[in-house]
Amino acid sequence: MVTPFKSILLFLIASLIGAIGQFFYKEGAQGAADKSLMSFIVNWRIWVGVVCYIAVMVLFIVAFRIGGEMTVLYPIYASTFVWAMLIGTLYLKEPMSLYKLCGVLLIMGGMYLIAKQ
Least confident of 32-41, 61-70, 86-95: 32-41
More confident residue, 62 or 1: 62
Instruction: Flag whether pLDDT at 72 surpasses 90.
Output: no
Mean pLDDT of 65-93: 91
pLDDT classification of 75: cutoffs 50, 70, 90:
confident
pLDDT of residue 117: 64
> Which one, of 17, 33, 42, 117, lies nearest residue 73 by Cα?
117
pTM to 2 decimals? 0.87
End-to-end alpha carbon distance in the chain: 10
Domain boundaries, the chain: 5-116
pLDDT of residue 40: 83
Per 3-state DSSP, what percentage of the chain is helix, strand, and coil (rounded to 5)?
A: 80, 0, 20
Q: Give CA separation, 75 vs 24, 27, 98, 106, in Å.
A: 23, 26, 23, 12
For all residues of the chain together, what is the average pLDDT?
91
79-90 and 98-116 helices, crossing angle to 10°: 150
Mean pLDDT of 11-27: 96
